[in-house]
Amino acid sequence: MGECLTLILGGARSGKSAFAEQQAAATTGEVLYVATAEAWDDEMRRRIAAHRAQRPATWRTVEAPRQTGAAIRTAMTPATTCVLVDCITLLASNVILALPETSDEQAADAALNTEIDLLLAAYATSSAAWYVVSNEVGLGIVPAYPLGRLYRDALGRANQRLAAAADRVLLMVAGLPLTVK
């Protein structure tokens, strides 16, 4: 089993990714950075490019918008001492939007649970420290549209599963980490 699984939650622009990257940079050995974003438009392409530019060139990057756990298992080497997954938020979006019917809550939960199962299975076979980033989407207003509510609920349940499995859970607020677990 991995050295330590840390789940880093927070709102948009709360400092989650920057904090996770600082933690990963402080480790010795190989860092495997796992990106779940997909470049759907120019704005997202710019965001992805900015994230790439700020990461150390020595980090190995795997882009895995879906089937993230399988991609990590394939990419890990004996030299991998740290795995940073950024982020479950986009993974959930990718998984739900790939469903034939995006209004099916049971299908969304099943598909996302499969992703979380595979991610935790990859962690179980690893000896690395893991940092997993996800948005806490349950603190805001109720989304106005059914797909938004389905997404919020599915991601909330996925975050709960990850938090239960994690050794540490941090909530980022204004760039500051608050210890939850």
Q: Report the catalytic residues.
A: 51
Three-point CA angle 83, 84, 89, nearest 5°:
135
Tell me the three-class secondary structure of the chain, residue by residue.
Answer: CCCEEEEEEECCCCCHHHHHHHHHHCCCCEEEEEECCCCCCHHHHHHHHHHHHHCCCCCEEEECCCCHHHHHHHHCCCCEEEEEEECHHHHHHHHHHCCCCCCCHHHHHHHHHHHHHHHHHHHHCCCCEEEEEEECCCCCCCCCCHHHHHHHHHHHHHHHHHHHHCCEEEEEECCEEEECC
